[in-house]
């Protein structure tokens, strides 16, 4: 991961209380007071309004995809973080990414975390959400116990548990592509490629201890678990990045972890 040659210092958005917050790999879940960064087709089409209108007019976007596109921050930064985070040093109070780190190779993930550290101000907080290997293994072991008891539901639980562990590592087609009409799927497969080429495949799954070590190794301190409704980030829940307005979480059974740049 090479540092981007273009490191922004101007135009950084701030929340109503003056904080600068960065949401990396935001996908379709962004808060418009934050600085949102992603490299998905959604981000590209949101920035290229005319192209987005053409794509919608051709019927290449389903109704659900059109709604998702309209909900994205119109000032989203479309950038590949494999080239670094395109902001200057010490500019953000918070760096956040959810269900993103697992899509990077392990060595690449550490380089990315160094970039997160670089753009944070001293005293800034990183919050990371990933699938939780400990939970996934626990579900697999529970399925094994049910199978050992010759329970009729054992094989179904086993299938669910093994798919949760390995499915997104080996799946060939992106989920969004698979849900489209056949002719749209045909086009997307040729434009975006398979799940790994499009960046949707998982490359690794973390437990608390490995992720804590990775964060500590790049300089973060006070690394600790959190919950979807708990954070050292002030007024965290008001941003709605991990739960809807009724409090239903988006990332059930995930690993939530935070650290501080001293």
Q: Say what the pLDDT of residue 66 is.
A: 80
Domain, as residue range, for 211: 1-132+206-262
Sequence-separated (6 or more) residues with CB below 8 Å from residue 255: 128, 129, 130, 131, 132, 133, 134, 135, 206, 207, 208, 211, 225
Does residue 113 lie in a domain region? Answer: yes
Separation between Cα atoms, residue 199 and residue 85, nearest integer Å: 17
Q: Say what the pLDDT of residue 210 is.
A: 98
Separation between Cα atoms, residue 28 and residue 123, nearest integer Å: 28
Query: Can you say whether residue 199 is alpha, beta or left, with left for phi > 0 and alpha for psi between -120 and 50 degrees?
Result: left
Q: How many domains does the chain have?
A: 1
Predicted confidence band of residue 1 (pLDDT cuts 50, 70, 90): very low
Phi first, then psi: what are they for 23, rounded to 5°? -110, 105
Does residue 219 lie in a domain region? Answer: yes
Sequence-separated (6 or more) residues with CB below 8 Å from residue 105: 203, 204
Sequence-separated (6 or more) residues with CB below 8 Å from residue 35: 12, 13, 20, 21, 22, 23, 77, 87, 92
Separation between Cα atoms, residue 69 and residue 60, nearest integer Å: 13
**Nearest CA-CA partner of 34 in 22, 24, 25, 26:** 22
Mean pLDDT of 6-27: 88
Separation between Cα atoms, residue 257 and residue 226, nearest integer Å: 5
Mean pLDDT of 101-122: 97
Query: Can you say whether residue 253 is alpha, beta or left, with left for phi > 0 and alpha for psi between -120 and 50 degrees?
Result: left
Q: Is the pLDDT higher at 145 or at 52?
A: 145
Q: Say what the pLDDT of residue 197 is.
A: 66
Q: Which of the residue ranges 145-154, 155-164, 195-204, 250-259 would you say has the lowest mean pLDDT?
A: 195-204
Structure tokens at 221: 């301190």
Predicted confidence band of residue 2 (pLDDT cuts 50, 70, 90): very low
Does residue 147 lie in a domain region? Answer: no
Phi first, then psi: what are they for 36, rounded to 5°? -105, 135
Does residue 195 lie in a domain region? Answer: no
CATH of the domain at 30: 3.40.50.150
Does residue 173 lie in a domain region? Answer: no
Structure tokens at 210: 């490995």
Does residue 236 lie in a domain region? Answer: yes
Q: Given the DSSP bridges, would you call strands 221-225 and 254-260 parallel, antiparallel or unpaired?
A: antiparallel
Does residue 83 lie in a domain region? Answer: yes
Does residue 167 lie in a domain region? Answer: no
């Amino acid at each position: 991961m090479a540092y981007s040659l273009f490191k922004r210092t101007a135009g950084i958005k701030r929340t109503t209380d003056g904080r600068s917050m960065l949401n990396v790999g935001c996908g379709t879940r962004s808060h418009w007071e934050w600085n949102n960064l992603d490299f998905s087709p959604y981000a590209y089409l949101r920035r290229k309004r005319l192209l987005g209108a053409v794509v919608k007019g051709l019927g290449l976007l389903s109704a659900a995809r059109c709604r998702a596109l309209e909900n994205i921050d119109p000032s989203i930064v479309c950038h590949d973080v494999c080239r670094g985070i395109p902001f200057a040093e010490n500019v953000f109070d918070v760096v956040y990414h959810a269900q993103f780190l697992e899509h990077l190779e392990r060595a690449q993930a550490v380089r990315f975390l160094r970039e997160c550290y670089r753009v944070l101000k001293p005293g800034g907080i990183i919050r990371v959400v990933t699938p939780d290997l400990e939970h996934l293994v626990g579900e697999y072991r529970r399925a094994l116990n049910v199978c050992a008891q010759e329970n009729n539901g054992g094989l179904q639980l086993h299938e669910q548990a093994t798919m949760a562990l390995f499915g997104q590592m080996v799946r060939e087609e992106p989920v969004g592509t698979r849900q489209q009409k056949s002719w749209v799927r045909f086009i997307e497969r040729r434009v975006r490629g398979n799940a790994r080429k499009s960046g949707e495949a998982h490359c690794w799954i973390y437990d608390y201890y490995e992720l804590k070590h990775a964060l500590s190794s790049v300089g973060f301190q006070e690394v600790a678990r959190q919950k979807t409704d708990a954070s050292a980030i002030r007024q965290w829940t008001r941003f709605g990045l991990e739960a809807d307005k009724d409090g239903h979480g988006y990332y059930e059974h995930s690993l939530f972890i935070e650290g501080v740049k001293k």
